[in-house]
Amino acid sequence: MVPATYKRILAIPEVRIPLIGATIGRLPFASGAFAVVLLVQAATGSFAKAGLVDAAYAVAVAVTMPLWGRTIDRIGQTGVFVITTAVSSASMVALVALAEGGSALGPMMGASALAGAFVPPIGTSMRTLWKNLIAEDALRESAFALDAVTLEVAFVVGPLLIGLVIAVASPAVAVLTNVCLAVVGSIVFATSQASREWRGGTHDLGILGPLRAPGVVTLMGAAAGIGLTVGALELGITAFATSHDARALSGGLIAAQALGSFAGGMAYGSRTWHGPAGRRLAMLGAVLTLTVIPLTVVPSLPIAFPLMLVSGIALAPTTAVIYLMLDHLAPSGTAAEATGWVLMAVISGVAVGNAAAGAAVGASGPHAGIAVALVGALLTTTVAWLGRGRLQAPDRLVPEVEPVG
């Protein structure tokens, strides 16, 4: 059953098309690494080389997100989507051609990095639209929860879809399928009225832009903790399944967490919340911490599935609160760039979580890798609690100005 708040949001005509486009466009983001790793591994026979190609993509995405955000703030979304969709899609097609042609590692890493550097900023753009689409703060918080829910849908549907394509065709076809999904999602989103009419503003904050706002930096720290938790759990639980001779079940375990996040987001967005959002963020971080603790001592695979489900319950609500506060705390004229910085913090956290959990697994086993996720949850909780004073009022460093264009 769809909550009444979500029905109110979806009843707004301007919301439906960009949200559909964003949901389609996020499917490749959720399953892209899976397809690329298998493509390169099949071509080279090496998971290590496949990991390097995927890492090149992830690093490029993280580095360029704030830059695309700043560009969107200046010129709007449409032109950025035309450029990024064209270059990223062409680069992924080139990667497939290189892999199928037996290319050396360097060119494949270059194509992957170019694809990542120009990945369409659909998450950034969708999150900056909500302020224009929904004026009521309480309902907008539900909108951010709905946004988080659609992301979890992508993380459930995307890998399943691409896994099916690989099963009936090949990793190369799977990568090209993701290219098609990215193009379709970008076109649907960027041609919507809400996206075409959105404009940022100007500011005089210098090169640091939104990073001059203490609240934005605090939210980046909390977001990095979320990324660290997700990245460490992904690797740790995969290692746990592998240690039980059931590596194939690792995808199901990760999907269970996504389903838990979906359920948590649906429940969170179904009601109106009161009180300081900064305190609520700290409380949700504490809930996340409590739900991860049992996984650090999980004894068996049958028990791991419900525990992974529970560990996802606080993820979507926590993400929703972070972006709601960012909506208020980002200095005028920096909405998209501030979102890009927070997304960069999440992606960087995932990368660190993967690396740290991998080292922990190698040193002490799967449970040590999962314990790294607990560190991420504690980081989110601690940053939110200690920084709650910075999250109470908008960090408006410059006055509102007339939109550009």
pLDDT tens, residue by residue, 145-193: 888 888 888 888 888 888 888 888 888 999 999 999 999 999 999 999 9
Same domain? For 161 and 299 the reply is no
Q: Which amino acid is at 277?
A: A
Domain assignment of residue 400, yes or no: no
Which CATH number fits the domain that encloses residue 157?
1.20.1250.20
Domain assignment of residue 11, yes or no: yes
Torsion angle of C-alpha atoms 244, 378, 154, 138, degrees rounded to 10: 150
Q: Name, in order, each residue with C-beta under 8 angstroms of 181's C-beta and a sequence gap of 6 or more.
A: 24, 25, 27, 28
Domain assignment of residue 87, yes or no: yes
Q: How far apart are CA 317 and CA 283, in angstroms?
A: 11
Domain assignment of residue 403, yes or no: no
Domain assignment of residue 148, yes or no: yes
By the 10 Å C-beta count (0-12 exposed, 13-18 middle, 19+ buried), 199 is classed as middle
Greatest alpha-carbon span in the chain? 60
Same domain? For 220 and 95 the reply is no
The answer to whether 237 touches 312, Cβ cutoff 8 Å, is no
Q: How far apart are CA 312 and CA 373, in angstroms?
A: 12
Mean pLDDT within 325-341? 85
Q: Which amino acid is at 104?
A: A
Nearest to 322 by CA among 400, 268, 271, 375: 268
Q: Which of 200, 230, 253 is the last residue of a domain?
A: 200
Of the chain, the percentage scoring pLDDT greater than 90 comes to 39
The answer to whether 329 touches 321, Cβ cutoff 8 Å, is no
Same domain? For 223 and 328 the reply is yes
Same domain? For 359 and 248 the reply is yes
Same domain? For 187 and 110 the reply is yes
Q: How far apart are CA 115 and CA 102, in angstroms?
A: 19
Q: Name, in order, each residue with C-beta under 8 angstroms of 350's C-beta and a sequence gap of 6 or more.
A: 58, 227, 228, 230, 231, 234
Residue pLDDT, tens place only, 231-250: 888 888 888 888 888 876 77
Mean pLDDT within 68-79? 88
pLDDT of 399 > 50? The answer is no
Residue pLDDT, tens place only, 276-330: 888 899 999 999 999 999 999 999 999 999 999 999 999 999 998 998 888 888 8
Nearest to 48 by CA among 32, 34, 37, 39: 37
Domain that holds residue 312: 206-395
Q: How far apart are CA 133 and CA 8, in angstroms?
A: 12
DSSP state of 48: H
The answer to whether 86 touches 30, Cβ cutoff 8 Å, is no
And the tokens for 79?
């032109």
**pLDDT value of residue 202:** 61
Residues in the chain: 405
Same domain? For 170 and 112 the reply is yes
Sign of the dihedral through C-alpha 7, 8, 11, 12? negative
Nearest to 29 by CA among 115, 105, 102: 115
Total domains in the fold of the chain: 2
Domain assignment of residue 336, yes or no: yes
Same domain? For 15 and 104 the reply is yes
Same domain? For 40 and 164 the reply is yes
Domain assignment of residue 365, yes or no: yes
**pLDDT value of residue 1:** 65
Domain assignment of residue 231, yes or no: yes
Q: How far apart are CA 198 and CA 278, in angstroms?
A: 28
Mean pLDDT within 76-97? 95
Same domain? For 274 and 354 the reply is yes
The answer to whether 152 touches 262, Cβ cutoff 8 Å, is yes
Q: Which of 171, 200, 229 is the last residue of a domain?
A: 200
Q: Which amino acid is at 194?
A: A
pLDDT of 133 > 50? The answer is yes
Q: Which of 173, 200, 227 is the last residue of a domain?
A: 200
